[in-house]
Amino acid sequence: MEKIFKGLIRINETKWELPATFKEGMLVKGVIYADESIIGSVDERSIEQLANVAMLKGIVKASLGMPDIHTGYGFPIGGVAAVSLDGVVSPGGVGYDINCGVRLLKTNLTKEEVIPGIKDLIEVLYKQIPAGVGSKGKIGFDRSDLDGIVCKGVNFAIEKGFGDKKDSEKIESNGFIKDVDPALISSRAYIRGLDQIGTLGSGNHFIEVQYVDDIFDETAAKKLGLFKGQVTIMIHCGSRGFGHQVCTDYLAIMEEMVKKYNMFIPDKELSSAPLDSKEAKNYLKAMNGAANYAWVNRQFLQYLAKEALTGFFGNIKDHLEIELVYDVSHNIAKFEDHIVDGKKMKLLVHRKGATRAFMKGHPDLPEIYKDTGQPVLIPGDMGRASFVLVGTEKAMEETFGSTCHGAGRILSRNKAIKEAKGRSIKKELEEKGVIVKSSGRETLAEEMPEAYKDISNVVEVVHKSGLSKKVAKLRPIGVIKG
């Protein structure tokens, strides 16, 4: 094990360690999963943030960084940390876009049926689905409806006819966390959230038409209902302004709690509160409400996408089958049971830009996926690919059942805009066979493929590390961005 740059020690081909001696105050080591090409792109600030997270009271085992790690607020994006019940909760370990996540739909359409009309299909989807900054939902709700969304999660949408009961079985946590108190969520969050339910938003959020380009595990793919050449729909979005406001409100509270409880934190962005405090419990109840909002938001987007597809392809397929494969969360903190040093412990697991990857047989998985492991959905950039994987036993042993969540940025949004100057990203993607529709040119520049690591490299790291197992590769043919 040779000590190399940035204080990291190489453990094996895909694992690097940041010793607890790297920075005064670290309670545990840091660990990054990366190969040589990826580790070279990790910025110094991300490593510093990884070390800072290792100072959080109650943190167990290690501060973890996935191969898509890059600088975030408080935690690095791609960061995972589990704390004991005598530890703390930090909103910086969840992020502003609470329960940002990915949902995958499968169809019985093939790429041969879809590609000839993909331009028209993308136009239809773009008109059907509100996207971009300031977009407003088409499904009208009032304040009491929003209470139902916050308290019931996806069950609210299903009760209103926006989906089937079986949908909830294919969503992480069944699309609902029960420990919520709407009184702990500000009126400002409600005002922002009311108009934005059922909207895609902007930035890296998208709806993508894809096809199954390759299958790595035939048995698992069959269980997930995937076959080569099949058209799928991927939805990536979160809790919009509602979750952003919840985070904003509680960050201000947490900064005061650091003083109240005389806590040491290495960075203001890691402001926290002890888990047994009223403030921590209040944040978690508000965060859970925002998580429920995000699941409902993706449920409504699924409904709108299905309506568009049914209208567009009704003349091709007598019975158009569009079904949910799974829905995963990327930004959330959850109480979970894990084995640490041979002992079962209840921990609060912060996942900030990381995906849950529970092994087969885990009691939290639906029956349909009990013998495959949890489906893991990893979106890439607009021009390359996305992947479907499943969770593993090794993830349970090493990373609290966690894996990567995407490609991970290597260019800031401002730098990407500068790099794209004078280019037509839309035309470049079209030449690669990807039709893109966006509410603004700047979004395409910010999200151009070169702004991200190569998703294939990132996924190969978690596959080789054993944190999740590759099942299928999905190629984009049409994308809607905000």
Residue positions annotated with a catalytic role: 405
Pairwise CA distance, residues 414 & 420, whole Å:
10
The type of residue at 365 is L
Q: Which residue has the tokens 């109840």?
A: 285
Residue type, 342: G
CA–CA distances in Å: residue 376 to residues 164, 373, 452: 22, 9, 19
DSSP calls for 199-265:
---STT-EEEEEEEEEES-HHHHHHHT--TTEEEEEEEE--HHHHHHHHHHHHHHHHHHHHHTT---
Decide if 177 contacts 434 (C-beta within 8 A).
no
Task: Say if strands 29-33 and 355-356 run parallel, antiparallel, or are unpaired.
Answer: unpaired
18 DSSP 8-state letter: E
- Backbone torsions φ then ψ of 411, nearest 5 degrees: -120, 135
Q: Answer whether 159's CB lies under 8 Å from 351's CB.
A: no
Using a 10 angstrom Cβ sphere, with 0-12 exposed, 13-18 middle and 19 or more buried, the burial of residue 170 is buried
Q: Are strands 29-33 and 273-274 parallel, antiparallel or unpaired?
A: unpaired
User: Distance between alpha carbon 318 and the CA centroid of its chain, in Å?
Assistant: 34
Contact by Cβ (8 Å): 154, 295: yes
Contact residues for 342 (Cβ-Cβ < 8 A; gap 6+): none
Token couple for 362: 């885990």
Are the C-beta atoms of 189 and 365 separated by less than 8 Å? no
List, in sequence order, every residue forming a beta bridge with 326; answer none if it has no partner.
104
Going by C-alpha positions, the residue among 171, 76, 99, 89 that lies closest to residue 349 is 89
Q: What is the DSSP letter of 76?
A: P
Neighbouring C-alpha atoms within 13 Å toward the C-beta of 170: 22
